[in-house]
Amino acid sequence: MSTSAPQTEIAIHRVAGGPSQRMGFFTDTSVCIGCKACEVACKQWNDLPADGSQTGKGVSYDHTGDLSASTWRHVRFVELLEPSPQLREEAERALINGAGGHLPSIPAAGAIDVTEGTHKLGDWVFMSDVCRHCTNAGCLDACPTGALIRTEHQTVVLQADVCNGCGYCVPACPFGVVDRDPIDGRAGKCTLCYDRLEDGLEPACAKSCPTDSIQFGPHDELVEIASRRVAELHSRGIDGAYLYGAGDGPEEQLAGGLGAFFLLTEPPERYGLPAHADSPVQENVVPATLAAVAAGLLAGAGTVLAFAVAARRGRGGRGGGSW
Amino acid sequence: MNREHGWEGPLEHAGEAAELAAGHAPPDNARAREAHWVSDHDTETRDIRPALGARGGPGPWNAAEPGAPVALARPDFGDARWSYLYKARDTDYAGAQPDADLVAEANRRMRDAPVSDVRGPFIHAPVWSGMVATYFWLGGMASGSAFVSLACDAAGDHRSAAIARKVAVAVVSPAPALLIADLGRPERFLNMTRIFKPRSPMNTGAWCLVAFSASGALAVGCDEIGRPKAARGLGALTALFGSYLGSYTGVLLACTAVPVWSGSRTILGPAFVATATATGAAATRLVLVASGLPHGHPTRKALGTIETTAMLTELSISALGERRLGDAARALRGDRPGLYFRSAKSLVSLGLSLRLLARRTGGREHELASVAYLAAGLLFRFAWVSAGEPSARDDAVVAAMARERGGPQAGRRPWQARALSSRRPPWPLPDVIRRTYGEAIRRTSLAIERRLSAVSRDVQERHEELVRQGEGADGAGPGHGQVEVAG
């Protein structure tokens, strides 16, 4: 009889010749309401512990803060400093009417300067962040044990029974997704609900999303829906809508194309996303190794040379000086 | 539990905490976590019991029919494809016709838009401790000593070469322990050699460490049993492995998203090799002097020259790297890394002045200088490794570097080709052997881990039993950890 909770360890072996359809997420921030249902569903399904939520981070209403080894979905709150033109207009109207509108923090008109007041308004954008399941995955390239693998769904999964917690995947991820759990000792990240996929179910976060901001499906179908959505938003005058991680030209792809991509309406840096990214290992390993090994061989040769010079001088009768 | 707070309403009706079923004690992990939070939070007013099941235990649900297909599953992920939102007829969610050029243009425009507002966090900071930096130092020193043994042999000083080989092995011997101690799961250290993966610098480094240690130890063994020729050959092989052991650590750091490391990708390897050579020469010199190498011996002089030259090389490479890094170099000047760097540079200057002083006095200053170089080497490694954390947290630099990287790419050069990082055959071996080997290593690691955790659990249970017995004898009730002893 087992003494405690069963060991939730999985070993995945890619089935040779099995189905190889790429599955992914399309996270549309334009319909996200920031309810964090995906975070909760992810925690519950994957049996992830709480992180000891800390209120009062001081800068945000978001109390999760970041993706981590025990947080595989994270709704990032982007509290914009500049109000959107629409909100500014609404607020100005509300202020002038003296009603205060739906913005409770604003006192009646006349008490404050309208322009000043609207300038301080905030607008919120939410983005449900998750592992990108990159084509050129930095974590997968870095992993020395082979714990990180690509599955038959073209997702990147960490085999918890192989990971020895070396921590190399943590700085090798250009998106700050994977992390090492300080208590458990192993790295952890989204598996795109590998276990649910095996049973034909969609991932827990996508299932729980009340506005379908998180959509799951075959990657190519998702890209088509996302492209339609961008076109639709553009036709409605939201020119800032674009895709992060899909629909790029071959030279501009993020990490070779992301399995889980996003529709955004603000520049990527506002969401804590790099404007360009690729697997750091693939970017750097060749030049770095060439420089390093060349230097190593040079140093070896230099050492031999120094000895040869010293030996010749020694024979020349000049002695060792103070040595 | 304090239930005075009206706002915790629903908890009033939550009933008592579910008793833990026998055999369902929370795992040690859960206990450690709870202890951690309890120190942060006021548990008197905060109920941290899980909504379902017991602390640390699995949820109480079971499949009605084991092995039966899941009720809601539909073929080909049918449940996921259904959506009221993106059915064009129901809503205008995605009604427009897709236009690839429009999307690509929008992506480019927004990703290249001027940055007005950078919000982190972008990347995670590295989790390595000082043990990794110490290992970098020792590994470098060992490879430097291997270079010295090769050079001594080439110059005909076989006695010094044999000593240098011993130094290399002695210095590298604590390295595995340091690396294992830094792992999150040290019991699974064997997994490092579960596969051979040329793409991962940490994997090739682990193999190189194995090869270096093995050939170094064999060379020392050959020295001991009086096979000098074999020892020299193996020493040369060790030096060859050393040229990677001393430099791969720089590659390892460069292959990350941390700006200060990846930005100095061609700097780190050479800089680390330079410190490796200097510290290796310094360590060997000190041992040779202690073992009675006479004054004025050319080996002493050559080693001194190597130390100084290598340290000056490191200084100039670092200065060059700092210049090239631009804003990212902030991390190198910050709190701790800055202190390490400045101390290392002062120690190098101290070593240099001691060397100059020794020219006049001819005294022991040379040895002091070697010690200063050794310490400087350690501080350099600490500086580079500890600069990773502030650099990863410097959101402005991470964002700026990502922008620079993505400038106009006029076609990639052949070596910049990217590939799907999938599970590729890492060994040039038949699949059966590869799998059998990898699986054997994995199982061995798990067996070791289970054994060790069983031992630690036994110890803990025994301890708790003793505590209980002690409480019973003194008549104290359970839950009172402190037992007062009369007299």
Is A2 domain-assigned? no
Report strand pairing: A148-150 vs A123-130: unpaired
Residues 6+ positions from B456 with CB-CB distance below 8 Å? none
Pairs across A and B, CB distance < 8 A:
499
Domain span at residue A312 reads 279-323
From residue B147, alpha-carbon distances to A191, A245, A303, B278 in Å are 46, 47, 7, 11
pLDDT at A116: 58
Return the CATH number at A35.
3.30.70.20
Q: Are residues A215 and A267 in the same domain?
A: yes
* C-beta atoms of B199 and A163 within 8 A: no
Residue B49 predicted with pLDDT over 80:
no
Cβ A158 vs Cβ A145: under 8 Å: no
Number of domains in chain A: 2
**Tokens at B12, concatenated:** 């009033």
Mutation site, A269, A271, A304, interface B, largest B CB count within 10 A: A269
Nearest chain A residue (CA) to B237: A300
Of A51-65, A145-159, B360-374, least confident by mean pLDDT is A51-65
> Longest C-alpha distance within chain B, in Å?
94
Q: Report percent pLDDT > 90 for chain B.
A: 38
Q: What are the extents of the domains in chain B? A: 130-401, 427-471
Q: Tell me how far apart the alpha carbons of residues A221 and B43 are, in angstroms, rounded to a whole number.
A: 48
Residue B58 predicted with pLDDT over 50:
no
Mutation site, A25, A303, A305, A315, interface B, largest B CB count within 10 A: A303
Closest-CA distance of chain B to residue A42, Å:
14
**Tokens at B167, concatenated:** 């130094």
Is A86 domain-assigned? no
Q: Does B432 touch chain A (CB under 8 A)?
A: no
* C-beta atoms of A303 and B80 within 8 A: no
pLDDT at B483: 38
* C-beta atoms of A269 and B258 within 8 A: no
* C-beta atoms of A272 and B395 within 8 A: yes
Q: Tell me how far apart the alpha carbons of residues A201 and B74 are, in angstroms, rounded to a whole number.
A: 7
Q: What is the mean pLDDT of residues B305-323?
A: 89
Residues 200-239 of B with CB under 8 A from A: 200-203, 206, 239
Query: Which of chain A's residues have a Cβ under 8 Å away from the Cβ of B156?
Result: 311
Q: Residue A42: how many CB atoms within 10 A of its CB?
A: 23
At B27, is the pLDDT very low, low, confident or very high (cuts 50, 70, 90)?
Answer: low
Nearest chain A residue (CA) to B360: A322
pLDDT at A4: 29
From residue B42, alpha-carbon distances to A58, A173, B2, B31, B37 in Å are 20, 35, 11, 17, 9
* C-beta atoms of B206 and A285 within 8 A: no
Q: Are residues A213 and A154 in the same domain?
A: yes
Task: Give a three-class secondary structure readout of chain B.
Answer: CCCCCHHHHHHHCCCCCCCCCCCCECCHHHHHHHHHHHHHCCCCCCCCCCCCCCCCCCCCCCCCCCCCCCCCCCHHHHHHHCCCCCCCCCCCCCCCCCCHHHHHHHHHHHHCCCCCCCCCCCCCCCCCCHHHHHHHHHHHHHHHHHHHHHHHHHHCCHHHHHHHHHHHHHHHCCHHHHHHHHCCCHHHHHHHHCCCCCCCHHHHHHHHHHHHHHHHHHHHHHHHCCCHHHHHHHHHHHHHHHHHHCCHHHHHHHCCCCHHHHCCHHHHHHHHHHHHHHHHHHHHHHHHHHCCCCCCCHHHHHHHHHHHHHHHHHHHHHHHHHHHHHHHHHHHHCHHHHHHHHHHHHHHHHHHHHHHHHHHHCCCHHHHHHHHHHHHHHHHHHHHHHCHHHHHHCHHHHHHHHHHHCCCCCCCCHHHCCCCCCCCCCCCCCHHHHHHHHHHHHHHHHHHHHHHHHHHHHHHHHHHHHHHHHHHHHCCCCCCCCCCCCC
Side-chain-side CA neighbours of B342 within 13 Å: the count stands at: 7
DSSP assignment letter at A251? T
**Tokens at A314, concatenated:** 């020694």
Task: Give backbone dihedrals phi and psi of B291, rounded to 5 degrees, phi first.
Answer: -85, 10
Residues 6+ positions from A235 with CB-CB distance below 8 Å? B96
Closest-CA distance of chain B to residue A201, Å:
5
Q: What is the mean pLDDT of residues B133-152?
A: 94
Residue B8 predicted with pLDDT over 50:
no
Q: List the single residue in B86, B272, B301 with the smallest CB-CB distance to A321.
A: B301
Q: Are residues A180 and A55 in the same domain?
A: yes
* C-beta atoms of A186 and B184 within 8 A: yes
From the list A77, A39, A44, A33, the residue with the least C-alpha distance to A213 is A33
Torsion of Cα atoms, B430 then B434 then B437 then B438, to 10°: -170
Per DSSP, the three-state class of A196 is: helix
pLDDT at A80: 66
Q: Tell me how far apart the alpha carbons of residues B66 and B44 are, in angstroms, rounded to a whole number.
A: 41
Q: Are residues A167 and A45 in the same domain?
A: yes
Q: Are residues A226 and A239 in the same domain?
A: yes
Nearest chain B residue (CA) to A263: B107
From the list B78, B89, B11, B7, the residue with the least C-alpha distance to B48 is B11
Side-chain-side CA neighbours of B405 within 13 Å: the count stands at: 25
Helix H or strand E encompassing A75: strand A73-80
Site of tokens 């309890």: B38
Closest-CA distance of chain B to residue A108, Å:
30
Q: Does B46 touch chain A (CB under 8 A)?
A: no
What's the mean pLDDT when you consider all of chain A? 79
- What is the CATH architecture of B130-401? Up-down Bundle (1.20)
Cβ A184 vs Cβ A174: under 8 Å: no
Burial label, B163 (beta-carbon count in 10 A; 0-12, 13-18, 19+) = buried
Closest-CA distance of chain A to residue B145, Å:
10
Residue A279 predicted with pLDDT over 50:
yes
Is A141 domain-assigned? yes
User: What strand order describes the sheet that includes A23-28?
Assistant: A214-218, A23-28, A260-264, A242-244
Angle between helices A280-315 and B201-224 (to 10 degrees): 30
Closest-CA distance of chain B to residue A98, Å:
32
Nearest chain B residue (CA) to A312: B298
Q: Tell me how far apart the alpha carbons of residues B411 and B416 are, in angstroms, rounded to a whole number.
A: 9
Amino acid at B97: Q
Report strand pairing: A242-244 vs A260-264: antiparallel
Residue A276 predicted with pLDDT over 60:
yes
Q: Residue B468: how many CB atoms within 10 A of its CB?
A: 11
pLDDT at B14: 36
Task: Give backbone dihedrals phi and psi of A234, rounded to 5 degrees, phi first.
Answer: -60, -40
From the list B206, B103, B109, the residue with the least C-alpha distance to A266 is B109
At B442, is the pLDDT very low, low, confident or very high (cuts 50, 70, 90)?
Answer: confident
* C-beta atoms of A161 and B442 within 8 A: yes
pLDDT at B131: 93
Of A103-117, B66-80, B196-210, least confident by mean pLDDT is A103-117
Residue B56 predicted with pLDDT over 60:
no
Q: Tell me how far apart the alpha carbons of residues B7 and A69 are, in angstroms, rounded to a whole number.
A: 32
Of A155-159, A274-278, A304-308, B415-419, least confident by mean pLDDT is B415-419
Q: Does B90 touch chain A (CB under 8 A)?
A: no
The dihedral built from the CA positions of residue A154, A156, A158 and A163, taken in this order, carries a sign that is: positive
Closest-CA distance of chain A to residue B469, Å:
23
Nearest chain A residue (CA) to B70: A199
Q: List the single residue in B147, B185, B442 with the smallest CB-CB distance to A299.
A: B147
Q: Tell me how far apart the alpha carbons of residues A188 and A49 are, in angstroms, rounded to a whole number.
A: 12
Q: What is the mean pLDDT of residues A95-111?
A: 47
Q: Are residues A319 and A245 in the same domain?
A: no
At A110, is the pLDDT very low, low, confident or very high (cuts 50, 70, 90)?
Answer: very low
**Tokens at A152, concatenated:** 């038959």
* C-beta atoms of A240 and B110 within 8 A: yes
Is A143 domain-assigned? yes
Closest-CA distance of chain A to residue B485, Å:
35
Amino acid at B349: S
Residue A173 predicted with pLDDT over 70:
yes
From the list B94, B317, B361, the residue with the least C-alpha distance to A292 is B317
pLDDT at A16: 45
Q: Are residues A139 and A245 in the same domain?
A: yes
From the list A156, A153, A152, the residue with the least C-alpha distance to A169 is A156
Look up the ipTM and state it.
0.82
Cβ B25 vs Cβ A3: under 8 Å: yes
Q: Report percent pLDDT > 70 for chain B.
A: 76
pLDDT at B142: 96
Residues 6+ positions from A174 with CB-CB distance below 8 Å? A138, A255, A274, A277, A278, A279, A280, B123, B257, B402
Cβ B161 vs Cβ B424: under 8 Å: no
Mutation site, B79, B102, B103, B275, interface A, largest A CB count within 10 A: B103
Cβ A66 vs Cβ B121: under 8 Å: yes
pLDDT at B473: 59
Q: Are residues A149 and A297 in the same domain?
A: no
pLDDT at B343: 94
* C-beta atoms of B119 and A320 within 8 A: no
pLDDT at B47: 52
Helix H or strand E encompassing A213: none
From the list A298, A131, A102, the residue with the least C-alpha distance to A205 is A131
Q: Tell me how far apart the alpha carbons of residues A233 and A48 are, in angstroms, rounded to a whole number.
A: 36
pLDDT at A119: 57
Q: Tell me how far apart the alpha carbons of residues B61 and A85 are, in angstroms, rounded to a whole number.
A: 50
pLDDT at B74: 76
* C-beta atoms of B24 and A150 within 8 A: no
Q: Are residues A320 and A237 in the same domain?
A: no
Q: Are residues A131 and A204 in the same domain?
A: yes
* C-beta atoms of A200 and B73 within 8 A: yes
Cβ B458 vs Cβ B466: under 8 Å: no
Q: List the single residue in B83, B111, B266 with the smallest CB-CB distance to A291.
A: B266
Q: Are residues A291 and A177 in the same domain?
A: no
Q: Report percent pLDDT > 70 for chain A.
A: 75
pLDDT digits (tens, 9 = 90+) for B157-216: 888 999 999 999 999 999 999 999 999 989 889 999 988 888 899 999 999 999 999 999
pLDDT digits (tens, 9 = 90+) for A53-84: 555 445 567 778 889 888 999 998 887 655 55
From the list A189, A132, A151, the residue with the least C-alpha distance to B422 is A151
pLDDT digits (tens, 9 = 90+) for A206-219: 999 998 899 999 99
**Tokens at A18, concatenated:** 């099995």
Query: Which of chain B's residues have a Cβ under 8 Å away from the Cβ of A31?
Result: 85, 93
Of B148-152, B363-367, B409-413, least confident by mean pLDDT is B409-413
pLDDT at A54: 58
Of A56-65, A293-302, B121-130, B231-240, least confident by mean pLDDT is A56-65
Cis ω before B121 (30° cut-off from 0): yes
Q: Highest mean pLDDT range out of A57-61, A291-295, B366-370?
A: A291-295
Task: Give backbone dihedrals phi and psi of A22, rounded to 5 degrees, phi first.
Answer: -80, 125
Query: Which of chain A's residues have a Cβ under 8 Å away from the Cβ of B298?
Result: 307, 310-311, 313-314, 320
Task: Provide the residue count of chain B.
Answer: 487
Q: Does B288 touch chain A (CB under 8 A)?
A: no
Q: Are residues A147 and A252 in the same domain?
A: yes
Burial label, B326 (beta-carbon count in 10 A; 0-12, 13-18, 19+) = middle
**Tokens at A122, concatenated:** 């905030």
